[in-house]
A and B are shown apart, each in its own frame.
Chain A
Amino acid sequence: MLPTVVSDYFDRLDSKRIRPFVLQLDAGFRLQESWGDATALGLSPPAKGSDVREAWSFLVGLHLTQPDMLTNIDLGNGHIVTLHVLPETDNSFYLAITKASEQTEHYKERQQQANEARLLYQKQKKLVDRLVATTAELEIRRHEAEEAMRDKSQFLASMSHEFRTPLTSVIGYAEWLSNAVAENEPAQRQARAIVRAGQHMVSLVDNILEQARLEHTEAIVHEDHVDLRQLAEDMSAIMAPLAAEKGLAFAAFLDPQQLQPVVLDEMRVRQIMINLLGNAVKFTQEGFVQLTLSWTGEQLHVEIADSGPGIAEEDRSRIFSAFERLEGAHKRAGAGLGLHITLQLVKLLGGSIGLDSKPGEGSRFHIRLPAPLAVEEDIDPDSTTSGGRLLIAEDDPDIVQLMELFLTRAGYSLEFALNGREAIERVRDTQPDLVILDLNMPVMDGISAARKLRDSGHEGPIIALTGATLDEERIRAIEAGFDGFVAKPIRMPELIATVRTLIT
């Protein structure tokens, strides 16, 4: 029979069916009396008069002086219990121990599921946070890379200008000298050597710029009407002396059936041929280097053959990679960019390139480029014209003088300005037939000047001169109102031809 305090307590809890194990303790936890079966809870009954905390350490820390109920206590012996503390007097306390309800197991399952779901959510959130952070970091890196790329393009544009402006003078004056000393063969040969060296420097600068352009910007194809005879002659003029210096035979062949101009990006086709011919001359120690141009089915066929060391099968894909140079080639000058750029240029022009080669048996590169026939007016840059009045704004006195030499001979009357602002004033005063503006000038640059001229209602043609070859600058020039564009180093025949197409 349970003590009244205890039975009343369980009556109040509406737990009459529960069979608790009940201990009566004094203030020192010494057992006075007990009811029920301790072993049903996996516990050994303590001896009367002993401190129950010594046998049941889970009672350490328990306060007996106030009623309390501690639920869901896993004793570690396979039993989950509830402790009920029921004080009776200052020195008599009842402690009832009951089995936890069956609902505990269900609750545990639900809690397990809930906690697992929360853990999963936290893990997912962590991953999403990490993804967001990584994306933000990537965005910053991309922004930095773009800025670096802009700086690089700007640097290349400036470098290009710095090189091209003096090269215009070098090549232009050497050409002039070469004509002027026509009767003195050794002097003419020396002048032509200066021209070739200058042109070679231009091609080196072009390669570096082209590489940057092809890698990082949308390259634009500039189609011209190209005279294949002139192209073959120019290649011959550049390459034959280089080949001769090494004791190599050089020959350039053009299909005599094809004498009509075709539409091509001339600058890039030249670059392709200079790169391949330059390599052929560089790597061939004896024998020949040969260029063959032919045209069939709206395509230009370029074949460059040499009697050099040849290229092994396994090296063929590698030679078209940037900065890749084959063993044994390390003593040669160059950056290892030539073939890589050549391949990219051929792709840019919509063409294809192939290579036949065996070690010891020379190499033969063959290229096919789309090249429709051009319908062209016959322009002879050397013939004089009825003329016209040209205003030239250029701050470099050497180039001014050079243009004066060529354009005066071509029959034009010239006036000059040193910067964009002066050009605008002179246009207002003298109304020239055509204006040539250098893009890079002090006080006011060519783009600003062209824009102001167009804003003030000037409708006459304007040509841009620039040392930069970046496509963006061409686009800016067109947007500013320019009608033509001539790149430095200025090829005088090209300048004259451009002038003629604009003033007839």
Chain B
Amino acid sequence: MDVITRKICIIGDFAVGKTSTVARFVHNVFSDKYLTTVGVKIDTRKLTTTGGVEMKMVIWDIAGTDRFSAVEFSYLRGASGYLVVADGSRTHTLDVADRLVAEARERYGHVPQVYLLNKSDLEDEWEISDERRAKLQSSGEDVFITSAKTGRNVDEAMHALAEMLDR
């Protein structure tokens, strides 16, 4: 069976759990220790879509930022899809995510994407309201409440993006 390869960029503010999400998806591991990403880190994992297509996802884990500079824009070039991550315990990281999506879209046009509202394990500190999430969903976005720590919905979000790329 042919394998199709797709470049995916994971974007979001710093410390929202992008690297942890990739580590959970690719290696099924998690560490509580926060290690900042500088530049971009590349990892890959294969999965099979419901249509039977085997897809190799080349994931570009881009250092967290609240605005893209020329360097980050160069990383985004040629991406087939975005994983847009926000920290559910910090509402403003969803504002940042929206802004990054808008910047990327302005530069490279529309690219399939899914939103991950991460850190659902921090129930007591959760800030992003159901209304805000519903508004995002009603604007047509696929939104997943995830936890890189517990693994909740991480695979589901990745598969959802893979399905979009297989269409």
- Measuring CB to CB, which residues of chain A are less than 8 angstroms from any residue of chain B? 53, 57-58, 60-63, 68-76, 80, 100, 104, 107-108, 111-112, 115-116, 118-119, 122, 126
Q: Which residues of B from 50 to 107 have beta carbons under 8 Å from A?
A: 56, 58, 63-64, 71, 74-75, 77-80, 90
Residues of A within 8 A of B90 (CB): 122, 126
A71 near B58: Cβ-Cβ < 8 Å: no
28 A-B pairs with C-beta separation under 8 A: A53-B5, A60-B5, A60-B78, A61-B7, A61-B58, A61-B80, A68-B74, A69-B74, A70-B40, A71-B39, A71-B71, A72-B71, A73-B39, A73-B41, A74-B37, A74-B41, A76-B41, A76-B42, A80-B39, A104-B38, A104-B39, A111-B36, A112-B35, A115-B36, A119-B14, A119-B15, A119-B34, A126-B90
> Nearest Cβ in chain B — how far from A268, in angstroms?
51
B38 near A72: Cβ-Cβ < 8 Å: yes
Q: Which of B15, B39, B56 contacts A74 (CB 8 A)?
A: B39
Q: Which of A62, A74, A111, A118 contacts B40 (CB 8 A)?
A: A74
A35 vs B78: C-alpha distance when bound (angstroms): 26
A72 vs B75: C-alpha distance when bound (angstroms): 10
A62 near B38: Cβ-Cβ < 8 Å: no
Residues of A within 8 A of B5 (CB): 53, 57, 60
Task: Check: B6 CB closer than 8 A to any chain A CB.
Answer: yes
B39 near A72: Cβ-Cβ < 8 Å: yes
Tally inter-chain residue pairs, CB-CB below 8 A. Answer: 71
> Nearest Cβ in chain A — how far from B81, in angstroms?
11
Closest to A69 in B: B74
Task: Check: B44 CB closer than 8 A to any chain A CB.
Answer: yes
A73 vs B42: C-alpha distance when bound (angstroms): 7
B78 near A61: Cβ-Cβ < 8 Å: yes
| Most-contacted residue by chain A among B34, B35, B36, B56 (CB, 10 A) | B36
The 3 tightest CB contacts between A and B, nearest first, are A72-B39, A61-B78, A61-B7
A319 vs B148: C-alpha distance when bound (angstroms): 58
Given A112-B35, A115-B15 in contact, is the A60-B40 Cβ separation under 8 Å?
no
Closest to B64 in A: A115
A60 near B15: Cβ-Cβ < 8 Å: no
Question: What total of chain B residues lie within 8 Å of the partner, measured CB to CB?
Answer: 28
> Nearest Cβ in chain B — how far from A239, in angstroms?
60
**Given A68-B77, A115-B36, 4 other A-B residues pairs in contact with their CB atoms under 8 A:** A72-B38, A73-B39, A75-B42, A76-B41
A70 near B74: Cβ-Cβ < 8 Å: yes
B38 near A58: Cβ-Cβ < 8 Å: no
B40 near A73: Cβ-Cβ < 8 Å: yes
> Nearest Cβ in chain B — how far from A102, in angstroms?
13
Task: Check: B43 CB closer than 8 A to any chain A CB.
Answer: yes
> Nearest Cβ in chain A — how far from B34, in angstroms?
7
Q: Which residues of B from 15 to 45 have beta carbons under 8 Å from A?
A: 15, 34-44
Residues of A within 8 A of B74 (CB): 68-70
Q: Which of A57, A63, A70, A126 contacts B58 (CB 8 A)?
A: A57
A290 vs B35: C-alpha distance when bound (angstroms): 82
> Nearest Cβ in chain B — how far from A309, in angstroms?
53
> Nearest Cβ in chain B — how far from A35, in angstroms?
23
Residues of A within 8 A of B39 (CB): 71-74, 80, 100, 104
Residues of A within 8 A of B7 (CB): 60-61
Residues of A within 8 A of B64 (CB): 115
Residues of A within 8 A of B14 (CB): 115, 118-119
Residues of B within 8 A of A76 (CB): 41-43
Closest to A111 in B: B36
Residues of A within 8 A of B15 (CB): 115, 119
